[in-house]
A and B are shown apart, each in its own frame.
Chain A
């Protein structure tokens, strides 16, 4: 007999309410004589927040919110016995994930090709090879409106048709799996969770472009991804899905892996090509673009992992559903790695046009510790901070760019009141300074000088002139740098200047850091009135900076203190002041 499950969870926060409701449900189900077929279960998380008592009926039943105990009888009578949905209790979903790229992640065994074939895998390629001309494949992708998911959002069909028309019979496809943005791991998850979808997408692009050879450029820090892609390539060769005459057609395609040695700049396409060719990974000026003059001087298409996973979906299901989702210029879905101060960090795939607020508050469950989220960082070190007043902006390439950030590859970090914006800007700029290849001076010198100025501000030694200098350096870097790394490195700093000027001025004028992150501006002082002389701070201080005894009380030696904040955390009487 098929069993029905009633999942119960109090979404307002207090744990005991779920237990009480569960007990009521168990009793009422027993009274109704349903306890043999219906089980009430306390859920850990229903993905619903601040909506009172939530009840979800499985399989495929409705989801009710703000359920009061007097509603239970009604739900049992109407929904469980008669199968009718109670409209006024039904939750109307604000935001829902739609999974295209992640369609098989968590579903198929990444090391078993039969699993992938079982969910319609390689049917799209088969359709291309036998029913469509390369031009028709490009047309379908054009109709879908797919744009590159690596960050810049260049239309895929255009890139491919340029490479198709380019002179020469030897062409290459490269999958850019050199994912390096701090806090972004969408590509890793797809590589590890659904490797065949990427290989199929790559093969389809090769067919459309007329390439015979493909390469995965994967960063060496992703050992499991490398292992699974290699295994997938081997198995695909074994069953004739790679190599000579794929599926018995006239089309042949070879594929191999090249490892990146961990340089962030190698995600830039010309640096990536240099790295594959065995040269030092530095970018070169464009044009000529890789679609004309790429790997070994041959026409090359470079697409990101997520783009390729989209392609295998598109050629299987057609462009219709994909093109219906999203905004006018940004179609389909985007995967974000949601991290930072949110309750639920993880991967979310949402249709373009979903607002930032619904991602962070709906899917992310809002702030983890109750402190308001003051900004969202998108696009990693090339992106910017988006302040709370712009959280209703829909996610699309254009909208994010208008706010001074970028879509990027999909990192999304929620920043709360615990985060200092100067500190965050310093972190991202520091990352770019570390990763700058040093080839062009605006990026090599400009970035370093800008970082020094930011450090000065964080140390409380900054002045208004420093802010002006930062702006000038930022503009110079944006205009004169050779590649995307240098051109976009000032973005986190500029967006901080744009939206969080007040916080910077506090550092400069009042010499204060409200988040308590800039340690030079802090002082930990023990308040003798509140201190109970328990010695907890003395015991916990890692540098023995706290001296004194039970008679005279304790003081923090400011010249020894490293401002780790341990005393502040451990004090049970709030006797340690942070100022």
Chain B
């Protein structure tokens, strides 16, 4: 692996920021999320999205603090405001792929929207 220098680090920061703007689905995968079944959701999303929407990146992230609402899935696709789904079951995950990613219609009754300063979640 190439060793980073100060200049490379600056460049790297800009490049990565550009990439993060694309469409993504993030699953909270800390102990609390995994305990609530996030691994299963992650695998399911990875498989279904990989098949139906390969342009959407499925990523894992840490716990965002809403432990009571785990497993958490953040969905951000172009043209639709990013939202956070909570207490996601395999069934809901399946519907996220079909309705949110497919028809660009958000799911009723599963969105958690807390006001938090300084995070990407709404």
Q: Spell out A's residues near B (CB within 8 Å).
A: 1-5, 7, 22, 39, 41-47, 56, 58-60, 63, 93, 96-100, 102-111, 114-115, 117-123, 126, 129-130, 185, 188-190, 192-194, 222, 224-225, 238-241, 247-249, 343-349
Contact = CB atoms under 8 A, between A and B. Distances in A.
Contact of B4 (A120, A225, A241): A241
Contacts of B121: 106-107
A1 B81 CA distance: 12
Which 6 pairs from chain A and chain B are nearest by CB? Answer: A193-B62, A106-B64, A118-B16, A240-B3, A47-B114, A59-B81
Nearest to B117: A98
20 contacts: A4-B81, A22-B108, A39-B105, A44-B86, A44-B110, A46-B113, A47-B112, A58-B83, A59-B122, A97-B65, A106-B72, A106-B121, A115-B20, A117-B9, A117-B16, A120-B13, A126-B6, A239-B2, A248-B6, A347-B65
A117 B13 contact: yes
Contact of B62 (A7, A108, A118): A108
A371 B59 CA distance: 40
Interface in B76-118: 79-83, 86-87, 104-118
A108 B81 contact: no
B20 to A, nearest CB: 6
Interface residues of B, number: 60
A20 B84 CA distance: 23
Contact of A239 (B4, B31, B104, B111): B4
B59 A109 contact: yes
Given A45-B113, A346-B67, 6 more contacts: A98-B117, A102-B64, A110-B62, A117-B12, A123-B10, A347-B63
Contact of A47 (B32, B67, B113): B113
B31 A238 contact: no
Contacts of A239: 1-4
B62 A43 contact: no
Given A41-B108, A42-B108, A120-B13, A56 B63 contact: no
B34 A224 contact: yes
A96 B117 contact: yes
A288 B117 CA distance: 42
Nearest to B3: A240
Contacts of B19: 118
Contacts of A60: 81
A247 B6 contact: yes
Contacts of A5: 80-81, 83, 106
A290 B20 CA distance: 43
Contacts, number: 198
B74 A106 contact: yes
Interface in B41-75: 59-69, 72, 74
**Interface of B (DSSP majority class):** loop
A574 B12 CA distance: 67
B13 A193 contact: no
A3 B104 contact: yes
B108 A346 contact: no
B119 A107 contact: yes
Nearest to A105: B62
Contacts of A122: 4, 9
A58 B122 contact: yes
B23 interface: no
Contact of A43 (B80, B87, B111): B111
Contacts of B13: 117-118, 120-121, 123
Contacts of B17: 118-119
Contact of A344 (B12, B68, B74): B68
B109 A44 contact: yes
B62 A97 contact: no
A44 B89 CA distance: 14
B61 A344 contact: no
A118 B112 contact: no
Contacts of A1: 79
Contacts of B60: 109-111
A344 B32 CA distance: 14
A4 B69 CA distance: 24
Contacts of B5: 240, 247-248
Contacts of A93: 115
Contacts of A120: 13
A59 B78 CA distance: 12
B35 to A, nearest CB: 10
A123 B113 contact: no
A248 B5 CA distance: 6
Contact of A44 (B79, B111, B115): B111
A130 B118 contact: no
B112 A106 contact: no
Contacts of B83: 5, 58
A97 B63 contact: no
B42 to A, nearest CB: 12
B6 A56 contact: no
